[in-house]
Amino acid sequence: MTIGICSRDQAPEILAIFNHEIAHSTSIYEHALRTSGFMRGWFDTKERDGLPVLGAFAEDGSLAGFATYGAFRAFPAYGKTVEHSIYVREDRRGQGIGRALLDELKRTARLRDLHVMVGVIDAANAASVELHRSAGFVHAGTLREVGYKFGRWLDVELYQFNLAVPGGSTGKPVT
């Protein structure tokens, strides 16, 4: 497996991963499947804002997973904070792909002089919570019943990583 930059050529594979997660999980709080038109706009935004779309490529060249980040909130004071997303194809989970993508996201964020990365994780997603904890993220709060999917209310947990501190977070929320 190699980590590299995704291009628009990978849009169909990214779309398939997104839509699998929308249809079968609570890792994306969406109800409607995404379209190829959505992907064109998604890539347009990533390119316009200079945001990475990283891919984990299998030996056969297929996309095993991808990761990116974007604005945490659309206010100027949050300009050095990003929210990231990592998705690994269902048949490729448990192979260290999520960790490799997360480590590369942190590296690229530091190169951009960003300060904090935030993960917004479904509280029931134990694998993602553990991935973030093992990568030095700290729990920064829980939002109760903020999403509704599959007939039930969902909680999200916020995890943050302070990029400016060697080795990770201070253990305290950034103020």
Q: Judge whether 169 lies within some domain.
A: no
Q: Judge whether 70 lies within some domain.
A: yes
Q: Judge whether 175 lies within some domain.
A: no
Q: Judge whether 36 lies within some domain.
A: yes
Q: Judge whether 170 lies within some domain.
A: no
Render each residue's pLDDT in the chain as its tens digit; 175 residues: 999 999 999 999 999 999 999 999 999 999 999 999 999 999 999 999 999 999 999 999 999 999 999 999 999 999 999 999 999 999 999 999 999 999 999 999 999 999 999 999 999 999 999 999 999 999 999 999 999 999 999 999 999 999 986 666 554 444 3
CATH number of the domain encompassing residue 49: 3.40.630.30
By CB atoms closer than 10 A (0-12, 13-18, 19+), residue 172 is: exposed
Longest CA–CA span in the chain (Å) reads: 45
Q: Judge whether 27 lies within some domain.
A: yes
Q: Judge whether 137 lies within some domain.
A: yes
Given this model, what pLDDT does residue 170 score? 53
Query: Whose CA is closest to 89, among 24, 18, 12?
Result: 18
Q: Judge whether 172 lies within some domain.
A: no
Q: Which domain holds residue 20?
A: 2-162
Given this model, what pLDDT does residue 175 score? 37
Query: Whose CA is closest to 42, among 81, 62, 82, 70?
Result: 70
pTM to 2 decimal places: 0.92
Task: Please count the structural domains in the chain.
Answer: 1
Query: Whose CA is closest to 142, among 126, 125, 155?
Result: 155
Given this model, what pLDDT does residue 174 score? 41
